Amino acid sequence: MHELDHYIYPHRVLHWLVAVAVLLSLASGLALGFLGYEGTLDLLGNALTNLLYTSHKTLGVAILLLMTLRIITRLAFVVPDHEPPLNAFERVVSTSVHHLLYAGLVAMPLVGWAATATGGFPVEFFHWHLPGLLGKNEALSQTLFVWHERLGWVLVALITLHVAGALFHWRIKRDNVMKRMSLFD
C-alpha cells in the first residue's frame, strides 16, 4: 500500500484506542444510566459500583486526551485521498458524521466532567482526583447530566452511521476506504 493511501500509523492507533474506550464508556454509561446509583449498588455492591463509576470517569478523561491527540494528528498530517473518490453524497455524509463524531467525543467528556464537578462528586482518572474546575451547583449538575446522557445517545447514532458506512464500503462497494484506517498494511 502506498503511504498516501492511509492515515499515518499513530492516527490509526488513536482511532482504534478511541473506539475501544468509547465502546467501554458507552457500555458502562448505559448500565449506570439504566440502573441508577441505587440499582447498581443493589446489583453489584459498593466496591463494584465505585469501580464502575471510577472506570466510566477514567474512560471519559482518556477519551478526551486521545481525541486531543487525534485532532493534533489530523491537523498536522496529510489526510489520504479516497481511491476511488467518494461521490458527492458519500463525501457530505462522511464529512458530516466525522466532524460531528469529533465534536461529540470532545463535548461528551467535558460535559460529564462539569456535571460530576457541579454535583460535588470527584472527577477521577484512575485513582487520581482531578480538579473539578466548577463549584457545586446541584441544579446545574442535573441539567448537565441530562445533556451528558443526550450526547451519549447522539454518539450511539453517529457511531452506528460510521460503522454502517464502513461496512458498506468494505462489504458492498469493496473499495479502499477500510484500508485507510487499518492497523495492518
Burial of residue 56 (CB within 10 Å: 0-12, 13-18, 19+) is buried
Q: What is the pLDDT of residue 4?
A: 57
Residue 72's alpha-carbon distances to 7, 37, 111, in angstroms, are 13, 37, 21
Q: What is the pLDDT of residue 17?
A: 98
3-state secondary structure of 83: coil
Task: Using the CB atoms, write b or e for 102-138: b if 16+ within 10 Å.
Answer: bebbbbbbebbbbbbbbbeeebbbeeeeeebebeeee
Q: What is the pLDDT of residue 179?
A: 84
Residue 125: strand pairing partners: 128
Residue 3 cell numbers, joined = 503511504
Q: Is a pLDDT exceeding 90 seen at residue 2?
A: no
3-state secondary structure of 149: helix
> What is the rounded distance in angstroms from the CA atom of residue 99 to the CA atom of residue 34?
29
Residue 162 pLDDT class (50, 70, 90 cuts)? very high
Q: Is a pLDDT exceeding 90 seen at residue 176?
A: no
Mean pLDDT confidence for 107-130: 96
pTM as predicted: 0.92
Quick count: other Cβ atoms within 10 Å of Cβ 158? Answer: 19
Mean pLDDT confidence for 32-61: 96
Average pLDDT value for the chain: 93
Mean pLDDT confidence for 99-123: 97
